[in-house]
Structure 1
Amino acid sequence: MELFSDLNIMCPKAGQEDVYYKLCLQLGYRTIAFNHVIDMSQALVKNQLKLPKCNLKKCDDLQVLHRITLVCSDPSHLRALKNPQLKKFDIIALSPKSEELLSQSISNFPNSFQILSLDFTQKLPFRLKHTHLHPCKLNNVVFEICYVSAIKDSSSCRNTVSNSKDLNWSSRGRGFIISSGAEDPLFLRGPYDVINLVTLFGIEFKSAKAAISTNCEIVFLKGLTRTQTFNGILQKNELATIEDSIIAFPKQLILTETSEQPSLSKKLKTVL
């Protein structure tokens, strides 16, 4: 059974999330992400980044993640990816406005974000190339296609279809996810409706299905390595106390004491 995900739903107001929870469960989603879009040119005040709070009610039957999308228009904005405050978000997406920023983000900050979310509603000022996509594949960074812009108006639909075709051709049908970008529950569609829709973009059924299921696992796993490891190599785990270790230790593995340490088994017997 496929576990479908929608990793880009605009964050609702407090108290309105139950509408999304009920609808997403009915449509067949098991993981969703509420997204905060931050324009870095306005969020940086005296070189300090102001971030929104994540105070949303949880859902027992649905995995709810918190996402932030940083819209960058200047190379200095990329330094915010090292801000420790971003660790409270499960997913970090980047929306660069130029090819230079796209190249710098991939080469200098590959482990600091998971998604590249370009504005497909407008004609891109550059063409996606293999030099962009290959480093992303090596660093588990995925591109994003939002389908809501394709059902709003004709001009956005035209640009979304054209940019999606370029991305699909450059990536050979791999390395991207498909999400909604919905600002209202009325724009949400079921997983197989989304698959049928993006096949009109020239994306094959198999690639479209992977883009809302298995490809999203890349985002989850990289999010765990970003928040719980050091550069994806070292992980810090809390050690259990001595008393917990003794209680959890199997009785059959406890050896008989030597003559030099007669008090060790007595202590174990009192604990067990």
Structure 2
Amino acid sequence: MTVMNTELEKYQLRQQEEAEAEMFKMRDAKDMKSTPHQTPCLGANTSKWKRVLWSFVFFYASISIGFLCYVFFIDPTFVFETMIPGILGRRRILGRFVDLNLRKSSDTKALKGLVENAAHLGYSTVAINHVVDFKEKKQEIDKPIVPSELFSSLPIVQGKSKPIKILSRLTLIVSDPSHCNVLRATSSRVKLYDIVAVFPKTEKLFHVACTSLDVDLVCITVTEKLPFYFRRPPINVAIERGIGFELTYSSAIKDSTMRRYTISNALSLMQICKGKNVIVSSGAERPLEIRGPYDIANLGLLFGLSESDAKAAVSTNCRAILLHGETRKTAFGIIYTTKKPRTTEEDDSVPACKKAKCED
């Protein structure tokens, strides 16, 4: 009996194991049947996400290409003047650029090319410079060029969508004190020019130009070694009067020797004036001699200017010179009066009748 019971228990265990094995097989079969139905759903979801991803990439790629085309072909200064200052929460970095020295020539075609190139580089204001050297014979002050004689419609400034502003400038090269009489006589021809500059050749004339002459600019020689040393008193007087000092860079492009003189003379000036009232102009006679305003700001660092002074040398300092020229032509002086307060001692010394008149 015991043997039969043990065999029966073994048989029942086998049956249970077989039943469990069949159940596992059936479960695996169900899983295998369900997986083919799920794979199409996963494939559909992945394809949908791929489409979304590709549309996202295409959208941003088109925006990037459009932005690059705008910067390269329409407004190259957009990044530096508008975008970066807007991100940093500042105003425009340089604003309007000015070149106050485009040399006048008898060839009107070359002069038109100069102005058009300046507008293309981003200068909003230029001055056509008429140079008079009294050392040469038959040198007279001509009337300034009218912009309508050069252009029927003024060139548009690159990135500004506004026409360029053309001003007139007179530069007198003085090597003798008698040459300054033209400025002291207030000649009618001199008054026609927007800016009046003087180019002194001696230390005495440089002192006179800084302290007494009614001019807007004093030019610094860059084509030769300075014939004198700069002194602090006349330069400080010129800065107080609002007179600017001009450095030109076109001669430094032409010749390596002139480049050395330009840098040396500029550094000598910066040691005294510390970059105040300094402007950097081209002095160009051909379109290829003009450089962009950002290049000139970098060139100012080579001249000994700080970063802010180098930027001001092609923008704010030039506008200050233009305002000085406007006041030179329209006003002779300003009177400012203040009422002086009376002390108690003065009140006691004044009679009662006069006090009543003053109060009335």
- What is the TM-score normalised by the length of structure 1? 0.78
1:7 aligns with 2:111: no
Partner secondary structure for residue 30 of structure 1: strand
1:173 aligns with 2:275: yes
Contact kept, 8 Å, 1:149 with 1:157, in 2: the verdict is yes
Contact kept, 8 Å, 2:114 with 2:285, in 1: the verdict is no
CA–CA distance in structure 2, aligned partners of residues 24 and 9 of structure 1: 9
For residues 118-137 of structure 1, what are the structure 2 equivalents within 5 Å?
118-137=220-239
1:207 aligns with 2:309: yes
Quick one: which amino acid aligns to residue 3 of structure 1? R
Structure ranking higher in strand proportion = 1
Quick one: which amino acid aligns to residue 55 of structure 1? I
Q: CA deviation at 1:116?
A: 0.3
Q: CA deviation at 1:130?
A: 1.0
Larger RCO (CA under 8 A, 6+ residues apart): 1
Contact kept, 8 Å, 2:103 with 2:284, in 1: the verdict is yes
Partner secondary structure for residue 208 of structure 1: helix
Residues 221 and 232 (structure 1 numbering): CA distance in 2 closer, same or farther, change over 3 Å?
farther
Residue number among 137, 142, 147 corresponding to 1:57 in the alignment: 147
1:142 aligns with 2:230: no
For residues 32-47 of structure 1, what are the structure 2 equivalents within 5 Å?
32-42=126-136
Percent of pairs with identical residues: 37
Quick one: which amino acid aligns to residue 122 of structure 1? E
CA–CA distance in structure 2, aligned partners of residues 204 and 86 of structure 1: 34
CA–CA distance in structure 2, aligned partners of residues 201 and 107 of structure 1: 25
Partner secondary structure for residue 151 of structure 1: helix
Q: CA deviation at 1:14?
A: 2.8
Look up the match of 2:197.
Answer: 93
Look up the match of 1:26.
Answer: 120
Contact kept, 8 Å, 1:17 with 1:57, in 2: the verdict is no
Root mean square deviation of aligned Cα: 1.8
Q: Which has the larger radius of gyration?
A: 2
Count of residues in Structure 1 that have an aligned counterpart in Structure 2: 227
Partner secondary structure for residue 119 of structure 1: coil
1:68 aligns with 2:170: yes
Partner secondary structure for residue 126 of structure 2: strand
Partner secondary structure for residue 174 of structure 1: coil
CA–CA distance in structure 2, aligned partners of residues 116 and 36 of structure 1: 15
Residues 232 and 222 (structure 1 numbering): CA distance in 2 closer, same or farther, change over 3 Å?
farther
Contact kept, 8 Å, 2:127 with 2:168, in 1: the verdict is yes
CA–CA distance in structure 2, aligned partners of residues 106 and 117 of structure 1: 11
CA–CA distance in structure 2, aligned partners of residues 56 and 15 of structure 1: 15
Quick one: which amino acid aligns to residue 166 of structure 1? S
- What is the TM-score normalised by the length of structure 2? 0.60
Bigger drift between 220-229 and 180-189 goes to: 220-229
Structure ranking higher in helix proportion = 2
CA–CA distance in structure 2, aligned partners of residues 70 and 116 of structure 1: 10
Bigger drift between 88-97 and 125-134 goes to: 125-134
Partner secondary structure for residue 219 of structure 1: helix
